[in-house]
A and B are shown apart, each in its own frame.
Chain A
Amino acid sequence: MKHIVVIGGGIAGMETACALTDAGHWVTVIEKEEQVGGKLNKWSYLFPDFTPADKILDALLEKHSEKDFSILSQTEVLSVNRQNNKFNIETSGKQKLEADAVVVATGYELFDASRKEEYGYKIYDHVITSADLEKLLLPDGDLSVAAGQNPKRIAFVHCVGSRDEKSGNHYCSKVCCITGVKQAIELKKRLPEAEIYCFYMDLRMYGKNFEELYREAQEKYDIQFIRGRLSEASEKIDKSLLIKSEDTLSGRPLKMNVDLLVLLVGMEAGKGTAKAAAACSIGCEESGFLRTSDPFLMSNFSEQEGIFLAGSCTAPMSVNDTILHARSAAQEVNNWLKKNN
């Protein structure tokens, strides 16, 4: 029986582990948090059809619970060393593991919005991120702003920490556009009186039913889309926010007072992925995401033989794409093990 170590217990890691167990391998998942499921734990509803994130997570975890693989939680990988076709893995829990293959599934981290100081996240009272909003969108979430009033006007800022040289991230995080549309609709459902604006640079509705949701947002929910990147936000005496942008289609500066500002934060490869890359001696792209052997046929292969990649540690990815990528990773590992037997 072959032993495979999966670094990261998010949905990519768990799904890979699951598929590999099914293929008859012995799998160990190393997760730094107490809980598996990764960032999906932070999300309440998923685009484009508002499926509760719990539902997907529970379904995945239930499937995983039926499988026989071990999870080392609150554990980090310190080093991975290759020795005679085997990988020796040392963990923060002082365990020493020997594996035939390693799957890196360290996922992503959310962009720290306070790095965009001009938007005043963590400084102004009513500037929140999409991740913060996600919790508030749960049925018991309190959306009220100053003096317990419901916000009358809400603005979403797209591309916070993405497509932005100033944040050091040139890439597109891919999922924020549709997240913004989804959250705008959810907010409008909760607060039918509120006016909702999305400040965007481009709207990248790449996936199935995304464009349709965007149209619905305009048609049914009166969400207004203003093409322009926010330059700055400032707090007013009543804690509302004065935001400035160019209305690029009019070619004129625009200012607007909003009660709540939601920053659609992008994805970054994050420290976990960087550490894993260092430990496994595999390469990163300029973006920080892990380099795959090629983007077409070998998107699960790292530069190191026997070390595979799954999920959003390779690029920003939606939940469904991550699950698929994880399954393909398991397939590739299985094929590779067979070939090298």
Chain B
Amino acid sequence: MKDFGFSVIKQRTIDYDQFDGRLLNEVLEMEPSFKVCLSCGGCTATCSAADLVSFNVRRMNLLLRRGETVELETEIQKCMLCGKCMLVCPRGINLRNVIMLIKKSIHKYKPVNL
């Protein structure tokens, strides 16, 4: 391959058609309450871990729904599972189970060549 002093930049666009929904489907099947997330961010606002590090619980919904497994895996490790988020969620989502389900299965769906 020739070196031109630059390389083709990877697109930042979320290509929805390329997205692997298996992890999402697994999580939603086991924890259907996660379907009703409003992305209000209440969980993130109250999050104990978010006080200490850049961590956004709300975004996990998005990462999962956009198939961003690599980022999701690193993000989710920051959660301390304290459960505060569940006490503020206006839709009563069982977030701790969502996190545990992701932790359980994420290795199955991580892209291989990364």
Instruction: List the interface of chain A (C-beta within 8 A of B).
Output: 215, 218-219, 222, 224, 227, 244, 247, 249-250, 252-257
Contact = CB atoms under 8 A, between A and B. Distances in A.
Nearest to B91: A215
Interface of B: 12-17, 28, 32, 35-37, 39, 58-59, 62-63, 65-66, 91
B66 A219 contact: no
Contacts of B35: 218-219, 222
Contact of A250 (B15, B17, B28, B59): B59
Given A219-B35, A219-B36, A253 B65 contact: no
Contacts of B12: 252-253
A254 B14 CA distance: 4
Contacts of A254: 13-14, 16, 66
B17 A218 contact: no
Given A249-B62, A255-B17, A257-B16, 13 more contacts: A218-B37, A219-B35, A224-B65, A247-B14, A247-B62, A249-B58, A250-B62, A252-B12, A253-B12, A253-B13, A253-B14, A254-B16, A256-B17
30 contacts: A215-B36, A215-B91, A218-B35, A218-B36, A219-B32, A219-B35, A219-B36, A222-B28, A222-B35, A227-B39, A244-B13, A247-B62, A247-B66, A249-B39, A250-B14, A250-B59, A250-B62, A250-B66, A252-B14, A253-B12, A253-B13, A253-B14, A254-B13, A254-B66, A255-B13, A255-B14, A255-B15, A255-B17, A257-B16, A257-B17
B59 A255 contact: no
Contacts of A224: 65
Given A219-B32, A224-B65, A250-B59, A256 B39 contact: no
A255 B36 contact: no
A241 B65 CA distance: 21
A244 B15 CA distance: 10
A255 B17 CA distance: 8
A227 B66 CA distance: 13
Contacts of A255: 13-17
Contacts of A252: 12-14
B62 to A, nearest CB: 5
Contacts of B65: 224
Contacts of A247: 14, 62, 66
A122 B66 CA distance: 31
Contacts of B17: 255-257
Contacts of B15: 255
Nearest to A211: B38
A257 B13 CA distance: 13
A254 B62 CA distance: 12
A79 B65 CA distance: 58
